[in-house]
């Protein structure tokens, strides 16, 4: 009998480091800035990318040193996945935390790192600006693309 893949039989807390890292689909969506309306608590997604996000690969261009260069970069943990409200609904960590399965385009399912781009899930070709180009909070407004929930 074939064993189920790890993401179908383990919780986020049970995954080892290699499994945890491989669970990221490489969409890059969490590396785009969001705006929070403090009156309504709504999150607005933007197409403004973190300065380290590579527009072509949708990967962090200095993953090892990212926290030194971008101090507010958040390292995901199972606790953070369960706490925050700004992960995109397609995020693999969120799907597993919610008891769902991965989609066909996830590299672990498809066997290819390209399918997340082919399915239009990644931010490839969607970045309209970088945060180092923003001078004030208002500069993000023309790059807003939607609201959470």
* Complex with ligand SF4: residue 27 or 48, whichever CB lies closer: 27
Provide, rounded to whole angstroms, the least separation between the CB of residue 1 and ligand SF4: 30
Q: Which of residues 19-78 bind ligand SF4 (CB under 6 A)?
A: 24-31, 50, 52-53, 60, 66, 70, 73, 76
Closer by beta carbon to ligand SF4, 39 or else 47 = 47
The interface with ligand SF4 within residues 87-116 (CB under 6 A) comprises: 87-88, 91-93
The footprint of ligand SF4 on residues 6-25 (CB under 6 A) is 24-25
Calculate the alpha carbon distances from 72 to 24, 61, 141 in Å. 19, 16, 21
Whether the CB-CB separation of 10 and 99 falls below 8 Å is answered with no
Burial of 132 (0-12, 13-18, 19+ CB in 10 A): exposed
Nearer to ligand SF4, 15 or 60 (CB): 60
Beta-carbon contacts of residue 119 (< 8 Å; ≥ 6 apart):
103, 104, 105
> 48: which strand partners?
129
* Binding stretches for ligand SF4 (CB under 6 A): 24-31, 50, 52-53, 60, 66, 70, 73, 76, 87-88, 91-93
């Amino acid at each position: 009998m074939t064993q189920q893949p790890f993401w179908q039989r383990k919780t986020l807390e049970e995954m080892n480091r290699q499994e945890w890292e491989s669970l990221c689909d490489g969409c890059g969506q969490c590396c785009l800035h969001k705006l929070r309306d403090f009156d309504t608590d709504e999150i607005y997604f933007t197409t403004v990318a973190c300065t380290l996000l590579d527009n072509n690969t949708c990967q962090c261009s200095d993953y090892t040193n990212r926290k030194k260069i971008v101090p507010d970069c958040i390292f995901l943990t199972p606790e953070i996945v369960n706490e925050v409200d700004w992960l995109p609904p397609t995020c693999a960590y969120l799907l597993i935390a919610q008891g769902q399965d991965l989609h066909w385009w996830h590299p672990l399912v498809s066997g290819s790192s390209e399918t997340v781009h082919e399915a239009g899930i990644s931010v490839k070709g969607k970045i309209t600006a970088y945060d180092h180009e923003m001078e004030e909070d208002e500069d993000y407004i023309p790059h807003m693309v939607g609201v959470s929930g």
